Amino acid sequence: MTVQIGGGEPLARLAARRIRNIACEPLEPAVRHKAALCLLDFLGCCVAGRRMPWAPALLRFADDRAGTPEAYHWSLGRRVSAGMAAFGNGVLGHSIIRDDMHVASGSHIGVLILPAAIALAERDDLPGRALLAGIVAGYEMAGRLGTAVRGSGAFNRHFRPSGIVGAFGAAAAACAASQLDEDRTVHALGFGANFACGLNEWAWSGGQELFAHAGMAAQSGLNAFDLACSGMQSSETILEGADGVFAAYGCGSDAARIFASSLSEDYCILGVRHKPNAGCNFIQTPIAAALEAAKRLNSPNKIDEIVIRTFGEAQCYPGCDYTGPFTSLQQSKMSLQYGVSAALLWGRVDENAYARLADPVLNALVSRCRIELDAGFAEAFPARQGAAIDVRLHDGSRTVATLDDVPWLDDTAVEARFLAEMADYAGAAAANRILEAAHGLNDLESSRDLFALFPSRTPEPVDASRSDTTPRRPTTDGL
Amino acid sequence: MDGGALSLSRQAIRHASTLADRGADVTEVDSRVAACMLDFLSGCLTARATPWAPTLLRHDRMRAGPGRAFHFGLQRKGASDTAAFGNAVLGHGLIREDVHLGSGSHIGGIVIPAMLALAERDGLSGQDLIRGIVAGYEAAARPGAAAAEDRASFLGAPK
């Protein structure tokens, strides 16, 4: 695939050509396979997300605003407007913080672009091949933009990378899936860039807005696409312009060059990775190393000190170097100290472990953690994300476990996880049919044949003990 | 107003709530809200003649659906979020709507369409609508003004 770079053409136009290229040329089998795998991993996350404490609130929100039934909503188990489906499935899919990872862009692209692509495909009855092209293009544009922003040497870290790239990528997905012409694709990208959202304060405060980042990105990407389809026009220089994306986020001067040159590289989606555990990307290797160390530790209660060796990006990412107090899953799933301590104490880091926020033994271990930066790990990043856990006991003995990268799940493991989670929700037969349909998407005349397999069901009654006490409608006294 | 450990968001809510409650009983605020609303509405109606209005209406027509909120471009009621979006785009169409100099922001074009749509959707009273608009101006103006106060980094005037 080649895209002409340079010649003074705006970056959004070059990007639009790459999108058109993906939309109109046959996709290689490996790319199609990866797109299906990403879709399955996302659907598994949606199912798992239904168990989170805020799921009832999401259910209420969606139920109130369902609109015209156009696309399947995994929380409601029925069809709602495409925009609401994109939003709700984005929130749900991100809810366990286990969705896929594109390291170079620092973004969870799947939950940003997949909800938009599948909502659009169902709404507009697109062929399976079109949906695949949309997925590939969405990963491509979100990944390329994020890599340029992060790889430029500087950017404003108060903005969340997934938020910066999300609507841009989702708009790209919609354009490719619909084979939109070049001009309108440029405008859709411009609106998508303008619809970016997401700050990083949640990582410190434990707010739930990070989940909305994903939903907003997907919904806004669809809005961007629909606006462009209707004829609204945006700034063609939205990326490189004087007040464009790279300037606004304080990116280094290399961002435009990185973006342009990356458009002729291999498919971005092939670099997407699948997490072994829920939680931030940067805590994956430390947790895996700690789980290794835990196998060799007899007495976690005799630990004197835990040294977590990592690299600067992991330590300085919002919420990662945090020792509490822990009041939410969002905090425990970001904290290096929490994840490592849980692994050493319980030998597992699952939803139950993340939820034991006030456990005194766990918090005692957290307080004994110390982070050390390792030059070797720093040099290897972002290609590899190494970590070492050095556990020092009262008797002077040490247990050290080192991993040079995240033990990302391979294809088989991703599918096995999907089948287990989907079978638990919809039955083994349905899970298998969805898996087969996802891998056969390229041959489906209508992607609705896949969506028809999604289970229609009435949501379980809201468990009052797990829900918040927010009234269905705000009261009108005061504000 | 108590400060201390209260977050700025919580302080803002209390402040806006107090002012909004008071505002609904103060004639001057009342008439100011009315003036802002009328200015917004006339901007909406005039902007229907702009070159991009037909594209906006094409977009909004697809998404208007059923609902109780009036869309000034479509001249009919529909979904509240589409009405809020469409009326805000129209209201900003002439780039003539109100401006709050301290924050460098066009607050009316944002707050008023949201409050009109919400008020219609939920059947709010006139007094609630006024309260919401006052609080919206307040909540938008204060952080905007705080950000703009650092003149060294305040690079531009509202466009």
E strand spans, A19-123: 71-73, 78-80
How long a stretch of residues is chain B? Answer: 159
Question: What is the number of CB-based contacts under 8 A between chain A and chain B?
Answer: 40
Burial environment of residue A458 by CB neighbours within 10 A (0 to 12, 13 to 18, 19 or more): exposed
Q: What is the ipTM of this complex?
A: 0.87
Closest residue on chain A to B131 (Cα): A479
pLDDT at A202 (0 to 100)? 93
3-state secondary structure chain B: CCCCCCCHHHHHHHHHHHHHHHHCCCHHHHHHHHHHHHHHHHHHHHHCCCCCHHHHHHHHHHHCCCCCEEECCCCEEECHHHHHHHHHHHHCCCCCCCCECCCCECCHHHHHHHHHHHHHHHCCCHHHHHHHHHHHHHHHHHHHHHHHHCHHHCCCCCC
pLDDT at A20 (0 to 100)? 97
pLDDT at A67 (0 to 100)? 87
Closest residue on chain A to B139 (Cα): A479
CB contacts, 8 Å: B159 with chain A: none
More confident residue, A298 or B59: B59
Task: Inform me whether the pLDDT recorded for B18 exceeds 90.
Answer: no
Among the listed residues B94, B18, B24, the one whose alpha carbon sits nearest the alpha carbon of residue B53: B94
pLDDT at A479 (0 to 100)? 26
Per the CB < 8 Å rule, is A83 touching B56? no
Per the CB < 8 Å rule, is A232 touching B63? no
Distance from C-alpha of A109 to C-alpha of B100, rounded to nearest angstrom = 38
Per the CB < 8 Å rule, is B17 touching A479? yes
Among the listed residues A215, A191, A157, A169, the one whose alpha carbon sits nearest the alpha carbon of residue A15: A169
> For the residues of A86-112, what is the DSSP string, one character each?
HHHHHHHHHTTS-S-BBTTTTB-HHHH
Query: What confidence category does residue B28 fall into, taking pLDDT thresholds of 50, 70 and 90?
Result: confident
Helix ranges (DSSP H) in A209-367: 209-230, 245-248, 255-262, 284-296, 312-316, 329-332, 336-346, 351-355, 360-367
Enclosing H/E stretch for A175: helix A161-177
Closest residue on chain A to B23 (Cα): A478
pLDDT at A52 (0 to 100)? 93
**Which among A226, A231, A232 is the nearest to B62, CB-wise?**
A226
pLDDT at A393 (0 to 100)? 93
Per the CB < 8 Å rule, is A478 touching B63? no
3-state secondary structure of A392: strand
Average pLDDT of adjacent 10-residue blocks, chain A of 479 residues: 61 98 96 98 96 92 88 94 96 95 95 98 98 98 97 93 97 98 98 96 92 98 97 97 96 95 93 95 96 88 93 94 95 96 96 96 97 97 95 93 97 98 95 98 97 81 41 33
Per the CB < 8 Å rule, is B59 touching A479? no
* Residue A252 amino acid letter: G
Per the CB < 8 Å rule, is A230 touching B122? no
**Which among A227, A230, A479 is the nearest to B16, CB-wise?**
A479
- Give the CA distances from residue B9 to residues A208, A243, A332, in Å, rounded to whole numbers and listed in that order: 16, 28, 24
pLDDT at A411 (0 to 100)? 97
For residue A113, what are the contacts with CB-CB under 8 A and spacing of at least 6? A134, A135, A138, A139, A142, A166, A169, A170, A172, A173, A217, A218, A221
Distance from C-alpha of A308 to C-alpha of A336, rounded to nearest angstrom = 8
Mutate to test the interface with B, among A230, A232, A473 (most CBs of B within 10 A): A230
pLDDT at A460 (0 to 100)? 56
Q: How far is B98 from chain A (nearest CA, A)?
A: 22
CB contacts, 8 Å: A473 with chain B: 122
Closest residue on chain B to A229 (Cα): B59
Q: Could you tell me if B24 and B131 are in contact, meaning their C-beta atoms sit under 8 angstroms apart?
A: yes
Task: Inform me whether the pLDDT recorded for B95 exceeds 50.
Answer: yes
More confident residue, B85 or B63: B85
pTM, two decimal places = 0.91
Distance from C-alpha of A221 to C-alpha of A212, rounded to nearest angstrom = 14
pLDDT at B158 (0 to 100)? 44
Task: Inform me whether the pLDDT recorded for B2 exceeds 90.
Answer: no
List, as own/partner pairs, every contact residues A85-88 make where C-beta atoms lie below 8 angstroms and the sequence separation is at least 24, other chains included: A85/A115, A85/A118, A85/A119, A85/A122, A86/A115, A86/A116, A86/A119, A86/A120, A86/A170, A86/A215, A86/A218, A86/A219, A86/A221, A86/A222, A87/A115, A87/A215, A87/A216, A87/A218, A87/A219, A88/A58, A88/A61, A88/A62, A88/A115, A88/A215
Please state whether beta strands B69-71 and A78-80 pair in parallel, antiparallel, or not at all (unpaired): unpaired
Per the CB < 8 Å rule, is A478 touching B17? yes
Which residues of A lie closer than 8 Å to B, measured between beta carbons? 65, 67-68, 81, 83, 226-227, 229-233, 473, 476, 478-479
Q: How far is A136 from chain B (nearest CA, A)?
A: 26
Distance from C-alpha of B146 to C-alpha of A72, rounded to nearest angstrom = 43
Enclosing H/E stretch for A118: helix A109-123
Per the CB < 8 Å rule, is A230 touching B56? yes
- Give the CA distances from residue A209 to residues A146, A214, A259, A336, A368, in Å, rounded to whole numbers and listed in that order: 20, 9, 29, 21, 30
